[in-house]
């Protein structure tokens, strides 16, 4: 069974064959013998060519978020059906507006440092959110123009609430 992977700028295709309860994974001309056991709670124990790995992995539709040796990685994984769907209907990820600044955590807006119509540089402070008793400066992800400000000082925000739009 074919799987299509994308991590950062790296694309790869793997072929997986199940045999005797193990997986033979073929990737870039190499074969990996993989024995995967689910331990519950999103934890897996893998023995890959006799090397032991413990990972936490969550498969959120097409993105596998995995933690290995306490570091978190994301790999986009599509099976054949998902790949066909993507080829037909396009990559919905590309539609994400990069200039939407959302709250990285729940908190309280303390101060807004930009105004609609203002030109901002990437990395420029936009607003300050207070959470866990600390002031956190939220910076612009892109250079552009502030088109909309959706929050006010002293307003409580939840994680992922869109606060400012930049184009």
Partner 1 sequence: MKKIRKVLVANRGEISIRIMRTCREMGVKTVAVYSEVDRQSPHVAMADEAYCIGPAVAAESYLNIPKILDVAKRAGADAIHPGYGFLAENARFARAVLDAGLIFIGPNPDTISLMGSKTESRKTMMDAGVPVVPGARDALETVEDARAMADQMGGYPVLIKAAAGGGGKGMRTVRRPEDLARAFDAARGEAQKAFGDATVYVEKFIEAPKHIEIQIIADQHDNVLYLWERDCSIQRRHQKVIEECPSMVLTPEQREAMGAVAVQAARACGYVNAGTVEFLFDSEGHFYFLEMNTRLQVEHPVTEVVLGLDLVKLQLLAAEGHPLPLRQEDLSPRGHALECRINAEDVYNNFVPSTGQVTHLKHPEGPGVRVDSGITAFSEISRFYDPMAAKLITWAETRDEAIERMKRALLEFQIEGIKTTIPFCLAVLDHPEFRSGKFTTKFVEQYWDSLKAAGSADADLLEVIAAAVAYHQDQAGAATRAEVNHAPGRAEISPWKMRALQDMRRSK
Tell me if 84 contacts partner 1 by CB under 8 A: no
Tell me if 85 contacts partner 1 by CB under 8 A: no
Of residues 21-60, those binding partner 1 (CB under 8 A): 23, 25, 27-28, 30, 32, 34, 36, 38, 41-44, 46, 48, 53, 55-57, 59
Among the residues of the chain, which ranges form H helices? 80-89
Half-sphere exposure of 39 (CA within 13 A, CB side): 10
Q: Give the DSSP per-residue string, 52-84.
A: EEEEEEEEETTEEEEEETTEEEEEEEEEHHHHH
**Sign of CA pseudo-dihedral 44, 19, 51, 77:** negative
Q: Find all residues with CB under 8 Å of 160, minimum gap 6, and list them.
A: 102, 103
Binding mask 98-127 for partner 1 (x = CB under 8 A): ------xxxx--x-----------------
Q: How many residues bind partner 1 (CB under 8 A)?
A: 54
**Footprint on this chain of partner 1 (rule: CB under 8 A):** 1, 3, 5, 7, 10, 12, 14, 16, 18, 23, 25, 27-28, 30, 32, 34, 36, 38, 41-44, 46, 48, 53, 55-57, 59, 64, 66-73, 75, 77, 79, 104-107, 110, 130-136, 159
């Amino acid at each position: 069974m074919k799987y299509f992977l994308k991590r950062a700028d790296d694309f790869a295709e793997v072929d997986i064959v199940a045999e005797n309860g193990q997986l033979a994974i073929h990737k870039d001309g190499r074969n990996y013998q993989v024995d995967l056991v689910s331990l519950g709670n999103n934890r897996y124990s893998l023995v890959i060519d006799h090397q032991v790995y413990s990972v936490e992995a969550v498969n959120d539709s097409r993105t596998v978020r995995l933690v290995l040796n306490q570091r978190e990685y994301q790999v986009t994984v599509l099976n054949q059906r998902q790949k066909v769907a993507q080829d037909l209907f396009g990559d919905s990820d590309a539609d994400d507006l990069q200039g939407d600044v959302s709250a990285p955590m729940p908190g309280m807006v303390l101060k807004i440092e930009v105004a609609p119509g203002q030109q901002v540089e990437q990395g420029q402070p936009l607003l300050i959110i207070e959470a866990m008793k600390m002031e956190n400066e939220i910076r612009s992800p892109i250079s552009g123009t502030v088109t909309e400000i959706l929050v006010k000082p002293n307003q409580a925000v939840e994680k992922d609430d869109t606060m400012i739009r930049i184009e």
